Structure 1
């Protein structure tokens, strides 16, 4: 007899509040596993889906179960997923927008292309903050039609190139800094002054105040004599500055954006990143199979931003959405335990 499953539903477009209801126990298809979710983390897309509904994604099906980031224990292994076994502790990125993939439920299906085993001493709450930020950063840095950087290594050697990452204390920025440093790049990033030390601990060589009225000029000056590897934009609206810095620097002229880019100046290429695309190319395996498991076990990759636990149980998911919408969470990521 299958375990009883419950999930958090958005019952119709823009419905408030969320509802906790029974839902079918998910199945593990080809290349999939089912996990008992122990912790789920939150991203802006989660509450934007509730606020905007089909105005954001017109193809959403309701009732909708969301959530991209999760960690837990494997309870079922589907065909061609034998690299995992029942009882394994894992973190994973949701496989899509079907109800069975959503993180905000007790049991969820995961596509093994974006699942990584985690060490016994890594808490599920810490592991859950990683998947979407990591996948977005990896797509930006390594996909051939994006920045196409050198792959990450546990023993990186400097390659003489400098990457600009805007918003280094964000979830995507946190992962992008760590990955770029593991790939041998010098990283320049931006944050508020209170997060300068945080960004430097991640490996950034220099951190600039993104509120400074002279930030554009400061970055252009900093890149003089450097070979630019391109740029990564996390927050909407900051792309204009990154475009200008990359355009006026020697080196690559590509900027990867985590939100839709604005007007792209002549001489610059820019595109928006979609995290799930790494399942369809070599980057998924590069990160989730070849790099991350060993990096986590050797403590060479940090699960950050730190989890900020909102509560225990599915009934706390709406509170997490509300807290996320209200803003003010810095260098932390909201998490609910289950």
Structure 2
């Protein structure tokens, strides 16, 4: 039987609602796979694209970056890398997740075990890719890579926004790399962050959070390795800059990881003290050899040098299988079918905490 595809289209800039209509089935490139999508996770950028018209200029457009499903077609290089028709996978894409069939580059595809549902698997790709490039890439914070059997390395990292999607993935990967993690989150999410591996968690609403955090870091007896702001916010970034300036005694630790690239107009980054610099990721873009956003904005390519394989191809599938990596934040099922995606976008625009909004397709 011939396949047919349907998508939730954003027909023009800042238009609502998404329009459910036929779509061509994307053909996978040699490095790609075609996935029958079973679950889609929402990210804040999805609501921002629809409501504020960010990033893309050509419409109609199929947005969405996080998905999970079953492979139905495999490119030649993807087959050589071990992917097969029938594999259950999670995947990240620059755009195009809001449809029944989606093609994805294997740099952001990972197999998922049977005990992980599609709804669980789809919460990870954007969070993993954003945190991983910021924390571990040689041109960014250059921290140790996650391992299935980690050994403590005597170093500590701060993750501000630990209950966010990126923060949840960051905490788990840092623990898997042997770091002690100190988190910052809302008081209601303290236990959540500790279950992910944070040794201590501080309340972001406390007037003394910065001082208490610095005191805990100084009392830990461990080497300060850096601070990662896993959420947007000018005051959050200013606090992270002050922490790096106060505690970073070598160039490598005087780095503030951020989810906001300095050339993005949505948030002007604070000026930096001498010797402190930003490390950042542009989400899936930094993992993909062919990037439309890179071409649109003229971004430089970060050389991967096998980095993406170390995270997505090697560590991630094994960590899921063993239970070392949890699919967090927990999926909150908004509905079933493409017509639930507009409701999910509207909910995302209102903000969520320690949850990932998910729409199931079948």
Interval of TM-score (by shorter of Structure 1 and Structure 2): over 0.9
Partner of 1:255: 256
1:227 matches 2:223: yes
Measured in 1, the distance between the counterparts of 2:44 and 2:339 equals 19
Measured in 2, the distance between the counterparts of 1:62 and 1:27 equals 20
The alpha-carbon deviation at position 299 of structure 1 amounts to: 1.3
1:278 matches 2:287: yes
Partner of 1:332: 355
The alpha-carbon deviation at position 2 of structure 1 amounts to: 3.5
1:145-179 C-alpha deviation (Å, 9 max, x unpaired): 11111111111111111101101000000000000
Structure 1 unmatched ranges of 5 or more:
none
Q: Tell me the C-alpha RMSD between the 2 structures.
A: 1.2
The alpha-carbon deviation at position 300 of structure 1 amounts to: 1.2
1:67 matches 2:64: yes
Partner of 2:90: 91
Measured in 1, the distance between the counterparts of 2:281 and 2:106 equals 21
Measured in 2, the distance between the counterparts of 1:272 and 1:155 equals 27
Q: Is contact 1:226–1:250 with CA below 8 Å preserved after alignment?
A: no
Q: Which moved more, 1:30-39 or 1:273-282?
A: 273-282
Measured in 1, the distance between the counterparts of 2:110 and 2:213 equals 36
Correspondent of 2:157 among 150, 155, 163: 163
1:28-66 C-alpha deviation (Å, 9 max, x unpaired): 11111101000000000001000111xx22x53210101
Structure 2 unmatched ranges of 5 or more:
262-268, 290-303
Partner of 1:19: 19
The alpha-carbon deviation at position 250 of structure 1 amounts to: 4.2
Give the 5 Å matches for 1:1-338: 2-53=2-53, 56-57=54-55, 59-82=56-79, 83-94=82-93, 96-97=94-95, 102-224=96-218, 225-235=221-231, 236-237=233-234, 238-251=236-249, 252-260=253-261, 261-276=269-284, 277-279=286-288, 281=304, 282-327=306-351, 329-338=352-361
Measured in 1, the distance between the counterparts of 2:74 and 2:225 equals 41
Instruction: With the length of structure 2 as denominator, give the TM-score of the two structures.
Output: 0.88
Q: Is contact 2:183–2:202 with CA below 8 Å preserved after alignment?
A: yes
1:102-121 C-alpha deviation (Å, 9 max, x unpaired): 11100000101110011112
Matched residue SS, 2:67: strand
